[in-house]
Amino acid sequence: MRFDAIRRRVERSEQLLEGRALQTGTRMSALKATWLESWTPTRIILAGLAAGFLVGRSDPAKAMQRLAGGGRWLQLVGTLSGLLASLQASVATASAGKAVDHADEAADQAADAAVAAQAVADDAAAVAGDDSNANAGPRPRADRRRPDQSWTTPPAPAEAATEISER
């Protein structure tokens, strides 16, 4: 064969390959869309029931004993599931701590806004010369907290334990 003939043949093969790659990509995206649309809730439930039935019939514990020669694999699976549960709990604790921090910041901002609003209201009342509120006595400040309750009797054991654990 001549070099020109070989080169034309290679070019045709490359064009054919590019066309097939384009067809494959188009058909793959169509298949993916059809696959995702076909999973309705009813089909998902039926597939789960069928898979559960097949797993139950296969008796995985007996298969694992035959495969591993004992319950070591099951013990490993139990240990790993406990590890994963503790990791999830620690992640949940960390996110709860962040939520508490955000709540504290929001409470501080709300207290600052209340103090500012009270100051504006006091200034407005002073400018208006409102004497009806002057006879009522001093107003409670928004930034003050209620005093702690004084106990006349000792707290219940659960309350005492809570007080100790909060410190």
Give the span between the Cα atoms of 128 and 123, in whole angstroms.
Answer: 9
Q: Would you mind telling me the total number of residues written for the chain in this entry? A: 167
Q: pLDDT in tens for each of the 167 residues of the chain? A: 799 999 999 999 999 999 999 999 999 999 999 988 888 889 999 999 999 888 888 877 777 666 666 567 677 778 888 888 888 888 888 888 888 888 888 888 888 888 888 888 888 877 776 555 555 566 666 666 666 666 677 766 666 566 555 55
pTM for the full model?
Answer: 0.30
For 13-35, give one letter per residue: b (16+ CB within 10 A) or e.
Answer: eeeeeeeeeeeeeeeeeeeeeee
Give the span between the Cα atoms of 75 and 83, in whole angstroms.
Answer: 12
